[in-house]
Structure 1
Amino acid sequence: MLSQLMVLFGFFALVLVSVYWVNRAVVLFDRLIADGHSAGVFLEFSALSLPSVIAVVLPMASFAAAVYVSNRMMGDSELTVVQATGYSPWRLARPVLVFGVIVAVMMSVLTHFLVPASVNQLKEREVEISGSVSARLLREGTFLHPGPGVTFFIRQITPEGELRDVYLSDRRRPSREVTYTAERAYVVQGDEGPRLVMISGLAQTLQVETGTLSTTLFTNFTYDISNLIVQDRDKDLQPRHMSTWDLMTRPAEMAEISGDSIARIGEELHGRFQQALLGLVAALIGFSTLMTGSFSRFGVGRQIVVAIFLLVVVKLVESGVSDPTRNTAMLWPLVYLPSAVGLAISAFLLHLAARPFRPGRALTDPEAAT
């Protein structure tokens, strides 16, 4: 049974990760490619977002695997035969428990190591590429709008980095519009930011109120383009970017660095342990709910619906305790309430499945009838 659970878990995990990753990749593709970044940057960002996606879908994959395997074994009467030999639902739940522990260990590796490292690296790369001049401006044959009221065009970019036939329209001031055209141009890095050096060009200035147009020929002209590139300066670390070890050993320092409260640091720390336990809880809920049903030609569709509903209840409990634990540091034990509720539900359902008396059997018992 454990081997079947692992095989189906791998299948469902692969399918769910693919679905979630494709949805996120589409958003990343639109945002990055629209800003002029290369396919390599897109692949890098997709890879860095993958651990977070896997951490989200693993509990769902464990739940789906437990439900599928239990349903198939009940449909093939395998569980009925095993129970007839004296195995109780508690005994049958042992492989599911071992499977849940394995999933919880996988989740722990993700939540404590891979996810914090990936989101931290992703934040650093976002800051780096947000100020990329080459991605925002240096695209040949395309009219770009790097900012409100600004249009930029380059006909050709040579291998040496020379820009040919440059067009720049600056309409940011309501009273004046300036259009620059140049045969050649270069992007140079100055002390205060990037500069566009235009050579052999023409500047046309239109005074909007009077309608006066003035032209100026120039041999070379330097234009400040640093204000056209809006760089993300938010480099402050958030609790989700920090390692579990730092959250455990230096909570006060981490709270000061992130600008959050000690309660928020504790909620993030214990939330990582709680998230790992969800893989175990989801598997047990899926198995124990199906064990409450008996063999039927119509399947166990009702039990599957109930299992999904119980999983939703656990997630609702998780949402309900997030605000109190985030605001009050002393309430950190509430973070584990969803897992406790899930384990209690599983234990209760296994107890119902193992009870010696079932309603309705008394009518078919000959001794009870006499």
Structure 2
Amino acid sequence: MKRLTAYLVRLFVMDALILFGVLCALLWMVNCLRSFDVVSVKGQSALVLGIQALYTMPPLAIAFFYVCIGIGLVRALQALQISRELHIIHINYGLPSLWRASAVVAGAGVLGVLVLSNFIEPYANRQLNALNASIAADLVSSTLRPGRFTQVTPGVVLLIGGRAADGEISEFFADDRRDPEVRRTYIATSARVATDGQNYVLELRDGTLQNSAADGRFSEVSFMRYDVNVETLAQAISYVDPRSEKDSVELVTTALSSGEWDEGLTMLLANRSAEGLRVIGIAMVALALAGFPSGRRTRIAMPLEAVVLLIAFAERGLSAYSPLGAATGALGMIGVAGAVIIWRTRPRRAGEVLA
């Protein structure tokens, strides 16, 4: 790698990493504040609070990862223009080094975001669900106070009449309103939390299960024993796609062995892969915006960082509503930015250059 290329890579990477680190720290603190009920209501330690907030970070980190790369590139290129180094690069035929440095940063960004989306996020989802189940099991088995309604997760409220020294719970009541279509109520004379080493199970005895539908239908089932997976009570929503807990290699291996490739699996893999295209697109946008020196002065100068944010917002909106898939916006950025770069690097006459 040439010295100029290495110098530019170092500038681009430092600006992007600093911004990414600051945003990660801020969002982690915000997640801690949002989940503070783990400490204040559910009786867990501050360490559990921090770990829970950490497991919720990968989806957020993926969402703004490519934005940090774009803003980092723009800031570094603007600094080069202010110091006139960008002018020297263009005059002294240093454009190949600029392209190589941008390609190295974009390539590293693609690798990083694909690792995040295909491996780290599924692992974090799996650990978060297990932690939530453990918190719910601890809440049910030891933290619940007799005669006090306690919210395990938004939409799920528990109440117990008493708890014996051996962990036996008397007069168990649970109200589940997470599903807007069906309200489910568990009522049991006694209950106990058990585990098979991997999952926590709530064993209900001598009770009823009541279902109230939104259209007014009501059903009730009596039971002598009914086992409820504690994880189902701990989740913020009634259903979590188990594929979100599996990395892409595991999903592809399973699909190849079974021969079943459904639309949901294809869409999930495409969404994870689209993050890499977003990094390439935003890097090309940054080059198109700030990679060429300009002597023009505007009365109202709009920060290029804000332009990158607006472009990223538009890309997300286009990808979300496009019937062509999640990569639509990224491909649009690549196409438009590529056209601008080609136009700005076209051979021009001396008079046109001076103008």
- TM-score using structure 2 length: 0.67
CA RMSD of aligned residues (A): 4.2
Q: How does 1:161-176 map to 2 (within 5 A)?
A: none
Corresponding position of 1:103:
109
Contact kept in structure 1, 2:86 and 2:293, CA below 8 Å:
no
What SS does the aligned partner of 1:35 have?
coil
Using the TM superposition, give the Cα deviation of residue 243 of structure 1 relative to its aligned residue in structure 2, in angstroms: 1.9
Q: Distance in 1 between matches of 2:275 and 2:258?
A: 21
- 2:183 aligns with none
Residue 106 to residue 296, structure 1, CA distance change in 2 (3 Å): same
1:53-92 matches, cutoff 5 A: 53-88=60-95, 92=98
Which structure has the greater CA radius of gyration? 1
Deviation track 1:92-151 (CA, whole Å, cap 9, x = no partner) reads 232112101101111111111111011012112223322332454159xxx842377969
Q: d(CA) in 1 for partners of 2:128 and 2:53?
A: 10
Q: What does 1:177-256 correspond to in 2, within 5 Å? A: 193=203, 231-232=233-234, 237-251=241-255
1:23-172 to 2 correspondences below 5 Å: 23-31=30-38, 33-88=40-95, 92-132=98-138, 133-134=140-141, 136-137=143-144, 144-146=148-150
Match of 1:346 in 2: 337
* Runs of 5+ unmatched residues, structure 1: 173-186, 196-225, 326-333, 366-370
In the other structure, the counterpart of 1:203 is none
- Aligned-partner residue type, residue 315 of structure 1: R
Please name the residue that 1:283 is paired with.
283
Structure 1, residues 144-198: CA drift from partner, whole Å, max 9, x if none?
Answer: 42377969899xx9xxx699xxxx9x9x9xxxxxxxxxxxxxx976998489xxx
TM-score after normalising by structure 1 = 0.64
Paired residue total: 292
2:266 corresponds to = 266
Post-superposition CA distance 1:197-228 (Å, at most 9, x none) = xxxxxxxxxxxxxxxxxxxxxxxxxxxxx99x
- Cα distance in 2, alignment partners of residues 273 and 255 from structure 1: 21
Q: Distance in 1 between matches of 2:331 and 2:247?
A: 25
Task: Identify if the C-alpha distance between structure 1 residues 312 and 293 changes in structure 2 by more than 3 Å, giving closer, same or farther.
Answer: farther
Unaligned runs of 5+ in 2: 1-7, 152-156, 176-190, 195-200, 206-226
Secondary structure of 1:355's partner?
coil
CA gap of 1:364–1:42, structure 2 versus 1, over 3 A, is closer
1:231 alignment partner, SS class: helix
How far is the alpha carbon of 1:31 from its aligned partner?
4.8
Using the TM superposition, give the Cα deviation of residue 307 of structure 1 relative to its aligned residue in structure 2, in angstroms: 3.9
Moved more, 15-24 or 286-295: 286-295
Instruction: State the match for 2:197 in structure 1.
Output: none
Conserved? CA contact 2:55–2:127, under 8 Å: yes
Give yes or no for contact 2:145–2:160 (8 Å, CA) kept in 1: no
Does the residue aligned with 1:249 lie in a helix, a strand or coil?
helix
Aligned-pair identity (%)? 14
Aligned ranges 1:327-338 → 2 under 5 Å: 334-338=325-329
Q: Offset at 1:14? A: 0.7
Secondary structure of 2:86's aligned partner: helix
1:40-99 superposed Cα distances (whole Å, 9 cap, x missing partner): 3212212322333332332121111101100000111111112111334x6523211210
Partners of 1:236 and 1:306 in 2: CA distance: 36
